[in-house]
Amino acid sequence: ILLEQDLHNALANNEFYLDYQPQVNLKTGTIESVEALVRWRHPTRGFVPPDVFIPIAEECGLIIPLGKWILENACTQAKIWEKQGLPPMKVAVNLSLGQLFQQDLVEMVQDILHRTNLDPSFLQLEITESMTMNIDQMTQLLHELKALGIQIAVDDFGTGYSSLSYLKEFPIDCLKIDRTFVRNVPHNPNDEALVSMIISMAKHLRLKVVAEGIEEVEQLSFLIDGGCDYIQGYLFSKPISPQQITETYKDLH
Ligand code: G
Ligand code: G
Ligand code: MN
Ligand code: NA
């Protein structure tokens, strides 16, 4: 309850900020995208992690204005990097379940793209399999979002209870293999089999595939051998501030 009251003040008091985690293209070694991750610096409790406050924001409805703030901030930042002359980078933004039921979600995304003047192909929205919504409704919504020219990724892939049939219905561009599968690669044969299978399936469906949570060189080798397109993880970079992204990438072309 306390956190819920604090959450309402947090937006007005500017206590949220975004860090960005690079995704590396394994074929070229370049950063083609960064994932925006929201952080909350609470005035007295200090850092409160998103897996604590996002569910509370969902419950109390604050996820709608917070989600809008996150999207607008990320698109604005992507434009700043472009103006700074950084190599072109997509920005990936996580959507919450509550946002999928937001009546004006498509209009909001369109409006933010318009106001920030960001090329839509540089925005990727991440949804998860656990976002339970009627499959026809979800298909319709994703088609409307895709029509704006943006990209759609399925986050935490493989951890939901959903059937695979949605992969042929939804207009998606990218699968992000959940880090729980990658964690025990290459030591656990079952996880190896699942990761290889997901990469292979993604290729046959002509989807990009990102492996998340890469922390060790052995995991990297396994993914390179397996033909994975992109990795995201502490081995390469933790989520970092937009200024750190600029410092790291301004001289790379
Ligand atoms: O960044 P971190 O690993 O602490 O994130 C923990 C969880 O919070 C992850 O599941 C992540 O998807 C979620 N999360 C982080 N940033 C955002 C955000 O901007 N929006 C939403 N909806 N979820 C986020
Ligand atoms: O659910 P989602 O995939 O959006 O969550 C992304 C979260 O995963 C980020 O909050 C980030 O802090 C975390 N993360 C990113 N890379 C790694 C990693 O290599 N190891 C671990 N344990 N967590 C990571
Ligand atoms: Mn994500
Ligand atoms: Na994930």
pLDDT (tens digit per residue) in 173-215:
999 999 999 999 999 999 999 999 999 999 999 999 999 999 9
| Number of domains comprising the chain | 1
Look at residue 218 and tell me if it is in a domain: yes
Look at residue 48 and tell me if it is in a domain: no
Domain CATH number, residue 244: 3.20.20.450
Closest listed ligand to the CA of 126: 3
Q: What is the pTM of this model?
A: 0.96
Look at residue 110 and tell me if it is in a domain: yes
Taking only Cα atoms into account, the Rg of the chain, rounded to an integer number of angstroms, comes to 18
Mean pLDDT of the chain: 95
Reported ipTM: the value is 0.96
CA distance 84 to 79: 9
Look at residue 112 and tell me if it is in a domain: yes
Residue closest by Cα to atom 12 of ligand 1: 94
pLDDT tens per residue across span 52-92: 999 999 999 999 999 999 999 999 999 999 999 999 999 99
Name the pairing type of β-strands 31-42 and 174-177: unpaired
Cα–ligand 4 centroid distance for 28 (angstroms):
23
Cα–ligand 2 centroid distance for 136 (angstroms):
30
Look at residue 16 and tell me if it is in a domain: no
Look at residue 14 and tell me if it is in a domain: no
Look at residue 8 and tell me if it is in a domain: no
Segments of the chain assigned E as strands: 16-25, 31-42, 46-48, 90-94, 123-128, 151-157, 174-177, 208-212, 230-232
pLDDT at 13: 96
- Domain range for 189 is 21-37+62-249
Q: Nearest to residue 144, comparing CAs of 180, 114, 108?
A: 108
